[in-house]
Structure 1
Amino acid sequence: MIRPKLSLRRPLAVLGAALIGLTGAVAVAAPASAHHTTISATAGCDRLTGERVITWKVVNSEVNKGATLHKVIAEPNTPVTVAMEGGKTVPLEGWVIPEGSSVEATQRVPGNTASAKLTVHGRWFKEGQKTEKNTNDGSINLAADSSCTPAPKCIDADKAKYSHTFDGPKGTATVKLDGDLPLCGEGKQWFTLVSYFAPRPQFATPQYVYGTPDSDFISGTQTEIKLNVEIPDCHTQVDLIWGDVEQVIDPLVEGGKRYDNKKLGSPGAPGNRSSGPQGWYNGGDKSCTTPASTFASACDGSVAVSLTNDGKISKYAVEFEVKGENGFSKKVSVAAGKADTSIVVPAADAGKIEVLVDGEVIENGTYSWQRPEDCPLPAVTTKADCKNFALTVTNPKGGLPVKATFTYGDKTETRTVAADSSETVTFKAGKAETALVALPDLDLELQAAYAPEENCGGGGAGGEEPGLPVTGAAAGGIAAGAIALLIAGAVLFVIARRRRVTFTA
């Protein structure tokens, strides 16, 4: 069969796969006559199909006669075709090789083929001349190359590699399947992002899951996932782990289970099957509890301290320490959501009081004793006769000792009056008509009038001559006052803060 002359420079049709491992191991049959064909071959591997792809080159020995390939025999017996323009192919058998030219044809054979052979029966014809015939062959050794196996179309889940990003403070992560191949079949690989409440900004236990972990899988056409979790507004830990939510540990406790190499970016399997930053974070600048304290002063100088653990979660206990300036110290653990009102700082040990957690004073955790407004005040009473003027301070039960300063005329004496007791100072009666009792601890001054119970005719505060009767309006007033005091059984006194009020009989 005669073929029209075609340019041999036309491009081969695209095979749709990369050809690798070209081989030039070719045997060429010696020509049996002047008219012959020379056959050589090269081979490659189609990684998509796993086939060997042999390119046969057949050269016409004659420069003034075309060679018709009357019969072509291939071993293995698979088609040998020539690529045409536009992607069409035709059989090599029947092809006419122009004078002094050649043709290339392609043959596909199984990937484990050890050798291939091509036999060509050629005929050369020119008008007025005898038709020449010749049979030539060529072969190629494929055993020198490794077998050609198809490139995988997918990757098994247990062999897949991944890459990831991780932002612990923001609670975000991504995981992506490496390479261009999807996971095979129904294979899935889960990944989970989880955040925790934590007692410290460094790793510490116990930890409790915050919110809902975010979990997703890579499978089929889904080759990349994005994960996002809420972060507590306090100390936290965030972990990107290999597996679904069933792998989440809640809580993380001392001596309990750990994620270990399940965290992506770990040095061991399976975490090291994903490349990227370490998939774990510890941080946060606030405590996940809100310890608080309140104080109540008592009249006796003591302070009752109430401690509460009303935190953002009801899981952590808080270790409080209450310190008094004068050496008092007590520690107490308050369970989550609870309060403790058992601590009383005695007056002797109080001074400035501090409440500490983890060695630091908590907010509003400093206090000093303040006298309650409803505490009873000390009482001042007097007793006077013509020779003496006695002043008594009585301190009620349940209060603090008070300092009392007694002043009459140019005489001053100081006493400390214990709670539930009295102190009396007696002055020799003189010309002064009033006495002053100061209570500096209470910021009070009390003024009492000297009013003897009898008529001191010749002496006493009036300064009269001894034995002379007191007459006139003054005498009447004194007498009336004496009668009133006898009836009442006490001397009238006035308590006034920073002011003096004088009563005279």
Structure 2
Amino acid sequence: MSNHPALARRTLGVLATTLLACTGALAVGAPASAHHTAVQGEASCVNGSYRIQWTVRSESAPPDATRFRLVSVASRPTGSKVSAIATSPAGQFPHSVADPVVGVQTVPGSATEARLTVRAQWDNGHTEDSTHEGVVALAGTCADKGGPTGPTATFTSVCASAIDVRLTNPPKAPATQIVLASVPAGSFSQTVALGSGEKKTVRFPVEGWDGVSVTVAGTSEPLATYRWQDPGNCASARVTTRSTCDTFTVVLTDPPNGDRWTVTFPPRVREGP
């Protein structure tokens, strides 16, 4: 079971509402989660330039949406386009919801970050309310001919107010420590050891602050900062109940994580005549 405060508040809120509404057996389904895209990137150093492989996925698409198109695509640094990830004309949906869209962006070896921002529309008529962005943090030390380079970081916002930070240290880079800190600074931080050639994914909580900064220990300038964005698939907890002659049970399941809460109430005994 998750110990995250945001999940606890959301689940207990649903429980309180359910208890007020319940009379006998009741089953309540949460609204379907919204369509949304997920954007992820992974960097490598090739001949003095960073090569970013971007992946765009359609997430939480219902059965009536089988294909999608991109209605807006933007990348940074300015002028560094992403191959094979582009907008499509109205009415044309070239991408299957089951398959990722993969493209490559090349940026200078001195760059400190790369970004890809997209907005999608599905063939059932739904268009994303806002854009979704992927961010790759770069050390800016991609040497000529693919020499040693520093750590990189990519980010994904997840439900329950958290950010997945994927850290990568190239094979030729020395072991290091990475400091993850809250944005604004001062509320929370954690240090992650990263060996040569090692990759780690760390779930960083966002509770009372906006996002996360990633800094190599011993340096003052962050590799990158990232602010939490609504992933678009954070449905409310699903509530079901069971009623027998002896007990009344409420079961709450949190869709994004699969966490389950079960509360069983004994029968009410009436006293007196």
TM-score (norm 2): 0.31
TM-score (norm 1): 0.18
Identify which of structures 1 and 2 has the higher relative contact order when contacts are C-alpha pairs closer than 8 Å and 6+ apart: 2
